[in-house]
A = this chain, B = another copy of it.
């Protein structure tokens, strides 16, 4: 490689214009659709690509790494690692970076969804807009948020930021995590089921790693009970969605605030028709400010790697 040659990057799936623009000015970019055969799509460039950009919902499989023999770095937009083959990356010495600048937004979204469901904000707005209030009706009562029992499934960075927020509402916080946190005073339950039994609000904040299907199933939801609220800002596939639909429709739980679903962007029709749920389109980190921070974080990782040999936010 001569000094006039630009480093080549594969861009897997849609990336944000600011990232494409900034990196396109310094690197040669090859955009590849997520479903494509990467080797075929890149042609001879596959042999030259030294970096890849992707997002957690697409990730980077062992197969794609295989097709890129000179790959040094994978920069992911977001923090989910479940669709990127970390062990292959480690074996090959490929650095994987995420954008660990979104935790506050995700924790905020969890609080917003829980309050919205319990205090009937979105359903109240729907009722006002439909003319129910003006017609002389009386709004149904919600349930108090402050002072209740919050169960956090997965006490990682998001779970901790959520706990800090909930403390200001005088909530009693408990958690379940396969790796207990020695530095917190919150009671640790032995299972998610036990936690659900002692919670008014159950927040799923677990990382969506492989082999973790259905952390929340029919039994956990039954334990949460008819006044309980379930909130998911983690991954849809960590929940038995059919059981969740049943629990919402039957009243086995009081309601749910859901930002993620098993088969996005498809949401089960029974949820779309339910009054006691709030459904958001995977927007937990989708703010102007955080997306700009995430853009910059990806740009910084790629730039830093190819100028200094160090990524700024590598996965350990």
Binds B, one of A131-139, A209-217, A305-313: A131-139
Name the B residues within 8 Å of A134 (CB-CB): 265-267
Of B109, B126, B165, which one neighbours A168 at CB under 8 angstroms?
B165
Instruction: Enumerate A214-266 residues with CB–CB distance to B below 8 Å.
Output: 264-266
Of B108, B146, B168, B286, which one neighbours A167 at CB under 8 angstroms?
B168
Name the B residues within 8 Å of A24 (CB-CB): none
Of B119, B265, B288, which one neighbours A141 at CB under 8 angstroms?
B288
CA distance A104 to B169 in the complex (A): 8
Name the B residues within 8 Å of A266 (CB-CB): 134
Name the B residues within 8 Å of A168 (CB-CB): 164-165, 167-169
In chain B, what residue has the closest Cβ to A263?
A: B134
Instruction: Convert A281-300 into 0s and 1s, putting 1 for each residue whose CB lies closer than 8 angstroms to a CB of B.
Output: 11100111111000000000
- Interchain CB contact under 8 A, B267 and A119: no
Binds B, one of A68-76, A89-97, A181-189, A272-280: A272-280
- Interchain CB contact under 8 A, A139 and B283: yes
Name the B residues within 8 Å of A147 (CB-CB): 104
29 of the cross-chain contacts (CB-CB < 8 Å) are: A104-B144, A104-B147, A105-B144, A105-B146, A109-B119, A111-B111, A112-B112, A116-B116, A116-B121, A118-B287, A121-B122, A121-B280, A124-B280, A125-B280, A128-B272, A128-B279, A128-B281, A129-B279, A132-B281, A139-B280, A139-B282, A141-B287, A142-B286, A142-B288, A143-B288, A143-B289, A144-B287, A144-B289, A165-B168
Provided the pairs A281-B128, A287-B142 are in contact, do residues A112 and B104 lie with their beta carbons within 8 angstroms?
A: no
Name the B residues within 8 Å of A286 (CB-CB): 139, 141-142
Q: How far is the CB of A175 from chain B (nearest CB, A)?
A: 17
Q: Is A203 an interface residue (CB 8 A)?
A: no
Q: Is A174 an interface residue (CB 8 A)?
A: no
Of B125, B132, B139, which one neighbours A278 at CB under 8 angstroms?
B125
- Interchain CB contact under 8 A, A287 and B116: no
CA distance A172 to B170 in the complex (A): 20
Q: Is A115 an interface residue (CB 8 A)?
A: yes
Instruction: Convert A145-180 into 0s and 1s, putting 1 for each residue whose CB lies closer than 8 angstroms to a CB of B.
Output: 111000000000000000011011110000000000
Instruction: Convert A80-113 into 0s and 1s, putting 1 for each residue whose CB lies closer than 8 angstroms to a CB of B.
Output: 0000000000000000000000001101110111
Q: Is A50 an interface residue (CB 8 A)?
A: no
CA distance A124 to B291 in the complex (A): 17
Name the B residues within 8 Å of A170 (CB-CB): 104
CA distance A279 to B165 in the complex (A): 24
- Interchain CB contact under 8 A, B283 and A142: yes
CA distance A267 to B135 in the complex (A): 11
- Interchain CB contact under 8 A, A108 and B104: no
- Interchain CB contact under 8 A, A143 and B287: yes
Q: How far is the CB of A68 from chain B (nearest CB, A)?
A: 28
In chain B, what residue has the closest Cβ to A112?
A: B115
